[in-house]
Structure 1
Amino acid sequence: MSGLGHRSVLLTGGTGGLGQGVAPVLLAQGYTLTIPYIDAVGREHLEQQLAAAELANVRFVAADLNNESEVAALINRMPQLDAVVHLVGGFSMGATANVALSDWQHSFALNVETTFLVCKHALKRMQPQHYGRIVTIGSRGAVEPTAELAAYCAAKAAVVAFTRAIAAETKGMNITANVILPSIIDTPNNRAAMGSDQAAMWVPPTAIGQLIAYLISESAGAISGAAIPIYGNA
């Protein structure tokens, strides 16, 4: 395919706070989105935010991204897969001496395991077609770790390394893999957790959406293996 043919995107985490800012940006640029979800409330929020014409280019699929068979089915049932934008992730805080092993494991399951499963099965589709774009979400904490976020920072550092390894594996295949490193993102959850006094300094989800839109475009074919900071004024 060529020109505007590469337009089918798997957008994970599309119903979350970041995804609700990214999805409209991608839709405005003509992409069609497949959005897996677990939380029906998040899906409803996104549906309410989008116009009817935009919703016509969105397909919602219930799927647990920690379940490999569900991830494989999700991806294999897409008629076309040109790009993966993997936004799923999350964090919890706590001094390392007090972090339960279960919390550590949950951080890696949420941030790393989902990334692995989605990218693994996406690559099975992308490699035979000799085309694909993969964008993952790391964190500033992956390269500038901070206190009381050890599990999160370690998990996001793994996402960075994993994404760059994919880029190395896919050289010459017309497949790219890049990871974005946001600082604090201006989402409703972050405002609820930290207040909104400094929110003007944080990164707007739409700014991340615009960066993603470029990275999954055909014009960005020369960019792969990049870890791109987007810190705003934080």
Structure 2
Amino acid sequence: MHAEFDFDGDVVLVTGASGTLGSAVCRAFDEAGATVCGTDVVEPGEETQLDRGEVPFYRGDLTDDTAAEQVVSGVVDAHGGLDCLCNVAGMWKGGSPIEETDADEFDQVFDVNLKTMFLASKYALPHLQESSGAIVSVSARASLEGGEGDGPYRASKAGVRLLTETIAEENAGEVRANAVMPSVIDTPANREMMPDADHDSWVDPADIARVVVTLCSDAAPPTSGAAVPVYGEA
């Protein structure tokens, strides 16, 4: 069975849109007929996965309160509202045990992975409450347990899960909020970082994007506060 989605008339904001997963989410919603708006600190272009002109783009550093508010208000002003927010912006950084991890590195990981999700959600929620919309954020399989060398990453992604549950609880019956938990995503950066890994077991960004679309659609109306595994075979 092949599922088809119809988001005609819906406005979707995707953070981290210039990255591999963010651009895949943009394309999946575009194929479903949505008005897709992308935001990132990096402009789309030759060095990114999103082509310039592919979607309306709102550049902004979502670790900054004012910038996050301006991005969301810019989308709403231009398109008349907001129906879905996809918090894809994120990063991985690790390699050091906690006692050797710089505070600046800790702050950077939490800012990019958790603060962007918090600020985008904060300013999107009033509009999503009006539209009975949905939020999907990207957590990680690694958030389920501790591990060696990437404690700040794991903790920040656990924060994404818990903040998702909080948003779902606070907006029960108004806004659905869910998270997806990838393992290793098949991206050019990950292949360069791990050239000898079993790439066939990694998850295709397009497959994750379809799960994100499903969670935002009317195919999953009772699902809120969930953390959905998208591990593939990794």
Cα deviations by residue, 1:115-162 (Å, 9 ceiling, x for unpaired): 1100000112122x1511000000001113321110100010011000
The gaps in structure 1 that reach 5 residues or longer are: none
- Output the CA distance in 2 between the equivalents of 1:43 and 1:156: 29
Residue type of the partner of 1:133? A
Alignment of 1:55-134 (within 5 A): 55=54, 58-77=55-74, 78=76, 79-93=80-94, 94-127=96-129, 129-134=130-135
Whether the aligned pair in 2 keeps the contact of 1:140 and 1:182 (CA below 8 Å) is yes
Q: Secondary structure at the match of 1:18?
A: helix
1:36 aligns with 2:30: no
Residue type of the partner of 1:144? E
Distance 1:42 1:164, change over 3 A: farther
Q: What is the TM-score with the length of structure 2 in the denominator?
A: 0.89
1:20 positional shift: 2.4
1:67 positional shift: 1.4
Whether the aligned pair in 2 keeps the contact of 1:12 and 1:35 (CA below 8 Å) is yes
Residue type of the partner of 1:143? L
Whether the aligned pair in 2 keeps the contact of 1:83 and 1:132 (CA below 8 Å) is yes
Whether the aligned pair in 2 keeps the contact of 1:17 and 1:189 (CA below 8 Å) is no
Residue type of the partner of 2:185? I
Whether the aligned pair in 1 keeps the contact of 2:8 and 2:33 (CA below 8 Å) is no
Distance 1:4 1:29, change over 3 A: closer
Distance 1:225 1:205, change over 3 A: same
- Output the CA distance in 2 between the equivalents of 1:9 and 1:207: 18
Alignment of 1:1-234 (within 5 A): 4=7, 7-40=10-43, 42=45, 45-48=48-51, 55=54, 58-77=55-74, 78=76, 79-93=80-94, 94-127=96-129, 129-173=130-174, 175-195=175-195, 197-234=197-234
Q: Secondary structure at the match of 1:220?
A: coil
Q: What is the TM-score with the length of structure 1 in the denominator?
A: 0.89
Residue type of the partner of 1:134? I
Q: Secondary structure at the match of 2:179?
A: strand
Regions of 4+ moved over 6 Å: none
1:196 positional shift: 5.4
Whether the aligned pair in 2 keeps the contact of 1:6 and 1:82 (CA below 8 Å) is no
Cα deviations by residue, 1:76-103 (Å, 9 ceiling, x for unpaired): 2222200000100111112222101111
Give % identity: 31
Cα deviations by residue, 1:153-202 (Å, 9 ceiling, x for unpaired): 001001100011100001122x1000101000001111111115411101
1:228 positional shift: 0.6
1:40 positional shift: 2.5
